[in-house]
Amino acid sequence: MKREIRRTGIYTRRALLVGAVQVGAFGVLAAKLYQMQIMQGERYATMAEANRISARMLAPARGRVLDRYGTTLAGNKLNWRAVLVAEQAENVGASLDAFARIIPLAEHERVRVERDLRRRRRFIPVTLREFLSWEEMAAIEVNAPDLPGVMVDVGTTREYPFGPALAHVVGYVAPASEQDTAEDPMLALPGIRVGRSGMEKFADTVLRGSAGSVQLEVNAVGRVIRELDRHEGTPGADLTLSIDAGLQQDVLARLGDESASAVVMDARNGEVLAMATTPSFDPSLFDSGVSTAQWLAWTSNRRAPLINKTTAGVYPPGSTFKMAVALAALESKVITPNDRVNCPGYYDLGDTRFHCWSKYGHGNQDLRGGLKNSCDVFFYEVAKRVGIDRIAATSRRLGLGADLDIELPGVRKGMVPTRDWRISQGKAWNQGDTVVSGIGQGYIQVTPLQLATYTSRLATGRIVQPHLTRSVRGVLQPGSQPSDWPTLGMPERMLAAVREGMWAVVNEQGGTATIAKLPMQGVSFAGKTGSSQVRRVTREQREHGFNSENLPWEYRPHALFVGYAPYEAPRYAVAVVVEHGNAGSAAAAPLARDIMVDTLTRDPSERRETPQRLAGGGDGSGGVR
């Protein structure tokens, strides 16, 4: 009996112990369930939702660059790309290996991807491959279960319908650098491009826009089931330029294969209607990547296709500078329009002889004749009388050797020297320096854009500033009216005397550029030729009948021409520089004439409708109208 009672007690204690353990276990389980479902239910629901939903940032569409009529100069086209989100990949290296078995990655591509993965946050997609073909996209989708974290994304890439024709004005874009992404994390998004030159660089923040977001429902292996929500973000603003794309094409056709540049401006308000540089380059290559061979071809070309010669090319202005010298002398009252200087074909200063371009001389010349015949001796004497400092001050008022503040990067200021500048170089200024400055040689350096601005100011008497931006988001920018610009403050009679000489250059028998006379009834062209030496001509060469056409190309003088029309009511100004073209009258003046005819025929400053002559077609979203 006692044994039975003892045994029952043992069983009871064991049952109680087991029951206590069970109750404790169920209690712990209940507490855990309470904690998970009640206390932390929202947290775990969020985690579960995060496993089901993939959230990504979207690169905004870059704003378009348009010409004055709305023709697309830089637009966007669809670009399919493969991206990897490290946060969604269990093993990033394994995902990369699997991707490379489907779409091979070159060694440099693999290095770039791994570098981007290290530098960027895990939720930011890293581009594996852009510009996917249909077959490549299909291969990625079929193998999605074996590619955790990898997905196909659609974005845009930059498109330049006019290619090299507007490369130096519009510029180009390229992927963001490490420094760019450090300053703005949005630039790390796949498809984002950063402006590297031209208007693309100047207006980069305006064109860029702000990022959007998308939420996708995915299954256990990461395959996209459906799109749940999308916010496109804010596209970049459209930028309308003053450029007339049709006129730009005409100008380039005129320049042909020359190493040259030309600028056409609305002389009344400074709008740049055409800005052409030859040779040029294809800007779209920078978006997808420039090959080493292509880069070497560009950089080794002595005609420098990557340089915008209109704003970054500097040249001695030669005889096109003579109007600035004349105005400086008239304002300083050291000459009058009727004062005469005798030209025997040379000018002696001390024991140095300076030659006129005509070895037979021009005889007695007044200001009008000095400009018409481009008499060097006349301007040697005038420069000596007025002095370099007054010449420099007047030149800068006219836009030469001055900051023009146009909306392009890399614009050069050029140089119109002064005595103080020369002293700062550790040397003294002498009268010989002044004399050669009188014909635009010596230390003087200007850009074609400055020459066009200079001509516009001469023609209108206003301090117009060249500019390319016409409107942003359809809002017209200041500077479109002549009244927006102040006057030069020069007496009209002095400007008229210089303009009369420019008219005689083109329209009067014996002028140095009668070849530039317009074949248009009732419209006159006023202008000035220039030839600027790039190396000194020795006395021995002159004595042996020196002819610069026999020199190697790079040693020949530059050929220049500046002009405006109509003479009676100035509307357009043009500047043409033909590198090593030899003579302005032969090489640059006919080009300027033809360009002015094209400009007056199109009359872009007055036309409001879109011209129909442009090649190609499209709706303005990326094609050409």
Residues tagged active-site: 319
- Given CA atoms 238, 241, 247, 250 in this order, what sign does their dihedral have? negative
Neighbours of 393 (CB within 10 A): 14
Instruction: Give the C-alpha separation, 267 to 77, whole Å.
Output: 36
Distances (CA, A) of 147 to 87, 89, 99: 13, 8, 7
Q: If we measure between CA atoms, which residue out of 15, 562, 525 comes closest to residue 318? A: 562
Neighbours of 537 (CB within 10 A): 13
- Give me the DSSP letters along 525-546: -EEEEEEE-SSPPPHHHHHTT-
Q: If we measure between CA atoms, which residue out of 396, 381, 277 comes closest to residue 339? A: 381
Using only C-alpha atoms, the chain has a radius of gyration, in whole angstroms, of: 36
620 backbone dihedrals φ, ψ, rounded to 5°? 95, -5
Residue with tokens 């990326």: 622
Answer whether 441's CB lies under 8 Å from 395's CB: no
Instruction: Give the C-alpha separation, 334 to 328, whole Å.
Output: 9
Residue with tokens 């109208």: 625
Instruction: Give the C-alpha separation, 508 to 162, whole Å.
Output: 40
Q: How many CA atoms lie within 13 A of 277 on its CB side?
A: 26
Encoding tokens for residue 515?
């070849």
- Given CA atoms 356, 358, 361, 365 in this order, what sign does their dihedral have? negative
